[in-house]
Every structure is written in structure tokens, then in C-alpha cells.
Chain A
Amino acid sequence: MRNILIIGATSAIAEATARRFAAAGARFHLVGRNAEKLAAIARDLEIRSGQPVAWESLDLDRLDLHPALLERAEHALGGIDVALIAHGILPDQAACQQSVEKTLAAIHTNALSVISLATLLANDFEMRGRGTLIAIGSVAGDRGRQSNYVYGAAKGMVNLFLQGLRNRLSKKGVQVITIKPGFVDTPMTAAFEKKGPLWAQPDQIAKGIVAAVERGRDEAYLPGLWRWIMLVIRHIPEGIFKRLRL
């Protein structure tokens, strides 16, 4: 039985992942923005896991609230075995281009708040010599593209930060996993036409996350096909890449 902290628990990927852990009888502490939704998810997970589920709603942009949040989670669960950081927003790229404020707000939510939580969790895990830290990055963080580089830059920062954490903590018995989903059919991407083989369902990503934990993976492109797509995209020379409309 694992004690799992989920931050951004109302995200479709997080919820699908929680259900898979719940089937194995995990215990949860859920954190998110929307209290009503959190309550519904908590009730569902209680039924699936047969364990009581605690939750709290919080504005994760408030970095000053993070230390106390983790203390409460730690206390409620009696020690965190797995932490999944899954919160994030998909900013409007065009609007961000015209507004420094919007750009920085998106980077604050998608990168700085993740880094704040990851720092605190990593130190806690390091001290105890165990724990699994999972964060949802994105294939968008692998290369800057004109269509979503504000989102991509934040995710790229998370990717690099986790690489460093992994490098530091792998000797300390702590597992750090970066999840890089491709296009996923969730409320966050509601504005997109979801056709074609590249779109995945949240549960496919969830399955990959659970597998990454079980197999001790460092980084997982989900679905796996994206590993090869991004391999190609990362290797296109910048001189050519800048001319593409991506």
C-alpha cells in the first residue's frame, strides 16, 4: 500500500493515474483548485481504493503556502511514498506574445510553482532516503516552437530541473520521473480538433505513468511513439527548424 500525494488532482491525467493506483489500494492526499471537483474525485477514489481520501483546495501559485501544504500532506498520510505533480495550464500563446504579464503568469504556474514543490519534496525524500517524485512535463518542452513556446519554455525548465534532481538524488534512493505526454484528450485541450493517431486518452498516459513507477524509469514519453517523433524534432538543425511553421 502506497501513500500518494497528488498535486493538481483534478487534472484528467492525474485522476486517471489515481484510479490505477486506487485499484491497488493506495491512500491519497489530493490538492487542487476546484473544491467541488476535488470532493467528487475524493469520493470516487475512496470507493475504488476502500481507503479514506483527504483533500484540500489551494491556489498553487501561492508559493509561500507550499511548505505548510506539504507538512499537512505528510502528516495526513503518515509519510509520502509517491508525489505526483500534475497541475498546469495551457496559456493562450497569441495573448502571451502581447503581454509580459500573461507570459510570466503562465511560467509561474507551469514552472516556478512546480520547481518550488519539487525542491521541498526532494529534500524531504533525500532526508528519508526514499520516495518517488513524478512531474508531468511535456513534449512541448523538448524544443521551442512558435505555436506554444511560452508553455514549452516552462515545461522545458521543469524537464531540466528534474534532470538535475535525478542526477543528485539517484544515489540517495530517490526516484525522479519526468513524464512527457504528447497530445492528450483532456479539458485542457478542449479547444483542439482531436482527430488522428497522435491524440491519446488520459488513461493511456496513466497506464504509462504507473508502468514508469513500477519499472523505475527516469523519463517516459507517452504514448511511446513520441520518443521517436521528438528524437527527430530535436535533431533538425536550427537553421532549418526556424523556417518551419510548427
Chain B
Amino acid sequence: MSATAPGSWGRYPPSKPRQVLHCRDPRTLILPAEPLSCLPFGNGRSYGDVCLNDGGALLCTRKLDRFIAFDPVMGSLRAEAGVLLSEILALVVPQGWFLPVTPGTRFVTLGGAVANDVHGKNHHVAGSFGGHVRAFELLRSDGEHRLCTPTHHADWFRATVGGLGLTGLIAWVEIQLQRIANPWIVAENRRFANLDEFLALNDDYEARYPYIVSWIDCAAQGRALGRGIYMAGMHAPPGLMKSPPAEPRALTVPFAPPVSLINNLSVRGFNRLYYRLPRPARGLTPYQPFFHPLDKLLEWNRLYGRRGFFQYQCVIPPADAREALREILARVAASGQGSMLAVLKRFGDKTSGGLLSFPRPGVTLALDFPNRGRETLDLLERLDEVTRQADGAVYPAKDARMSGDSFRQYYPRWEAFSRHIDPRFSSSFWRRVMADRTSRETTCAIS
């Protein structure tokens, strides 16, 4: 609500914007007084500091929440950038349409989905969100309104998709939806005993299902390393008609306890139990719990306590995936800092073309860790060693700590990207990953 200053989902790093401005008119860009920099802020669901601008201004976009055009025959939708994906689903699902790509929470803004070029369980068939964007309008601090499509101002399009909000304010976005015959999902669950079995099964599942994700038990070691559960699904065919799924009721975590409730004991217990939990092999489920299981528990990030938590999501190219993932899981297991939710998925070959887009062919692994300070940062740096070695990448939307060198290795097109940054825009993330660079340049200039 309006009571607290906007923060990120991981509650780390602590950050205080000097000014919070609310955008209400998609035709005008409001700017803070010079020399404050600004950054668009949607619904605060990115984990680290890509949505933060410590000491600068935030341009909150949630009040840019009007639909502009919807073609229920062709399935194209244009809406202001602050509309939530949940609001889009509520509008289009009853009319037989669905988001082309949905991330693990539906409480993200449309603008945020573009700026982070989010991906979902269907990456192997659909690619990332940016690939389904037909157009958007970018408001620049010089007063220009730039209409961008994959072919018109294509360089600005590619810089802004996955551009972390730095290229200007996205005023509205037009996306192409996908047809569905049924709001229900046919889901299949299957256990796998270890990482090798995961990799062996993957081709078969990818051929049969548009949506796949795997949960893995990252407390397991040895022969069980990487054991877990495939969760696959597809939109149900028209024949399987059931009443439309009710909007699920959610619980809210009321406050952040002083210490994390997620610790070794609870992680180990939860993982073991979750792996063993009997679940139907195949069945019909409403789309919400299938795509957005965590949205049932509002403000779940509070479980990690006031110090917050880190996410680590990397992608490892196919050639090295097996070895690198084994090494990462082994390093996590050995550290004793288990992750409550570990998610594994293979990305397909489709890319959106975004200069800073994270998804690329390979296997992606997402982990979260309560913030235990130095100890956690050291572990994450050790994981980065493996990712760098394997020529992988880490997801900026979930990052609060990768080094500038790592970032520039993971995103070799960063220089081409940086030419598109609006001179009045900046973020905590960008200053962090460029810090060593600017200081080096300054040193050169002085010497």
C-alpha cells in the first residue's frame, strides 16, 4: 500500500528513494528535479535491485492501469504499463485467451514483464515475454515519445525488452495473446531420482507438454543429487468442460519476523516431505495454482525475516549443463545453506532479441537463500565461479550481488545496450554492476 517506501521482493538491499512519483498519465513523463535520476517501479516483484534507485527517484507505474484496446477475435491486447498480469488474465481468460508467457507470479506489471523480459514454464515452445510484444511506447526524458515495434525503431525495441527500465518509461504495451479452449490445465507430476534422470526425461516431456517446470530437492546429496518432481501441463481441450476456476483465496503473511523462518531445519524437512508427498500422476487443475503456486501466500517474502533473502537464477548452456549443475548443487548442499524452493527448467532456442535478455539455450536453475550476510554472499560468489566457467549467465531480475565483471561476461552486449540508456534514468543495479568500470575510467582520466 502507500504506507511504505517501495522496496524489492527480496527485501535486500535496503534502499531509500529520495522521491517517489506516481505516474497517472501515459502521455506525459513526470521527472524529478535535477539532478535526481529516476527509474520506473512497477509492482516490486523483482528480487534484487533492478527496481531500486537508492538516493534517486522512483516513477511508480501502478496507476497507469487502463486497458487501451482488446481484439477478442484476434487476441491482441494493448494496455498501460502498470496493469498487472493478474488483471489481464481476469479479463481475457473468460473470453478464451491466455497470456503468451506467464512468470511464476501473476502480480507483475506489464511494463515490468517487458523490462525484465520474463519467461515461464513454456519457454521451450514460446520463448520469453518480449517475443510476444507487438509494440510499446517509450517516453524519453527529452520529451520524445518513441513507438517501438520489432521492426520500427528495432534497436530501441531490443534495448528496452529486458532493458531493466533504463531506456525510458514504457507507457503502454501491446501483446499478442494465445487462444485457449479451456481455463483448466491438464497436469502431470512425475518424480525423478536424480539430475541424470531429469536430463534423460526432458526431451520426452518437452515434446508432449507446452508447460514444464521441475522442483528439485536441493538438500539431497550423493546419488540423489538433483532428485525432484516434473510438473508438466497443457491447457485442457474443449471437451473437458468444468465450471470456470474461482479466483483463489489467498492467505497473507502478516509481518516479517526478526529472524528467517526458513532455515536448515525447515528446508530439510520441507524438501524431504515435498519429494515424498503423494500427488496425483495426472489430473485437472485450475490455471492459477499451476502457474502461480506462490500467489496463494501473499507477502511470502516476509517468511525470510527482516534481513530478506537472495535468489540465484542461472542458465547453463547445454554442453556443460550436467557438470555445472552438479557442481552448483554440490556446492549448495555442502554449504548447508539449503534452498527452500529450487526450480529447474530447460530453455528452448527462441530468443526475443533483447540486448540484456536472460533466457538463452540451456538449463536454468533458480534457488533462494535467506540472507545470512557474508556467508551467503560467499556461497553465491562460489556459484558464480561455476556459472562463469560454464559460460552461463545470472538473471538480473533476481540478482542483488553479482560483480560487474560477472555481469559484463554474462551480457556481452552491455555496451551496445548502454548507448540506449536515458540520460535521466539509472538504477541501483546498474550503478552496482558498472561501479568498478566508472571508477576505472575515472582513474584513467586522472592519470
Contacts and interface: CB of A to CB of B under 8 A. Distances in A.
A40 B66 contact: yes
Nearest to A200: B1
Interface residues of B, number: 11
Nearest to B3: A195
B91 A47 contact: yes
Contact of B69 (A23, A41, A47, A201): A47
A185 B91 CA distance: 25
A48 B2 contact: no
Contacts of B154: none
B70 interface: yes
Contact of B2 (A43, A44, A185): A185
A199 B3 CA distance: 8
B69 to A, nearest CB: 7
Nearest to B1: A201
A44 B24 contact: no
A44 B66 contact: yes
Contact of A43 (B24, B68, B91): B68
A216 to B, nearest CB: 25
A196 B3 contact: yes
Contacts of A44: 66-68
Contacts of A47: 67-70, 91
Contacts of A196: 3
B91 A195 contact: no
Contact of B66 (A43, A185, A187, A195): A43
A237 to B, nearest CB: 33
A41 B2 contact: no
A46 B116 CA distance: 30
A140 B182 CA distance: 49
A43 B69 CA distance: 7
B3 A48 contact: no
Interface in B6-32: 24
Contacts of B70: 47
Contacts of A201: 1-2
Nearest to A44: B66
Highest count of chain A CB atoms <10 Å: which of B2, B90, B91: B2
A21 to B, nearest CB: 15
Given A48-B91, A187-B24, A43 B3 contact: no
Contacts of B69: 43, 47
Given A47-B91, A48-B91, A187-B24, A194 B67 contact: no
Nearest to A41: B66
B306 to A, nearest CB: 19
Interface in A27-73: 40-41, 43-44, 47-48
Given A48-B91, A187-B24, A194 B66 contact: no
B204 to A, nearest CB: 41
Nearest to A15: B66
Contacts of B91: 47-48
A40 B65 CA distance: 11
B68 A194 contact: no
A118 to B, nearest CB: 29
A194 B24 contact: no
A181 B333 CA distance: 54
A47 B90 CA distance: 12
A143 B70 CA distance: 47
Contacts of A197: 3
A190 to B, nearest CB: 8
Nearest to A199: B2
Contacts of B3: 194-197, 199
B60 to A, nearest CB: 11
Given A47-B67, A48-B91, 12 more contacts: A23-B90, A40-B66, A43-B68, A44-B66, A44-B67, A44-B68, A47-B91, A185-B2, A187-B24, A195-B2, A199-B1, A199-B2
12 contacts: A23-B90, A40-B66, A40-B68, A41-B66, A43-B67, A43-B68, A44-B68, A47-B91, A194-B2, A196-B3, A197-B3, A199-B1
Task: In the A-B complex, list the 8 residue pairs whose CB atoms are closest, starting with the nearest.
Answer: A44-B66, A47-B67, A194-B2, A47-B70, A44-B67, A185-B2, A195-B3, A40-B66
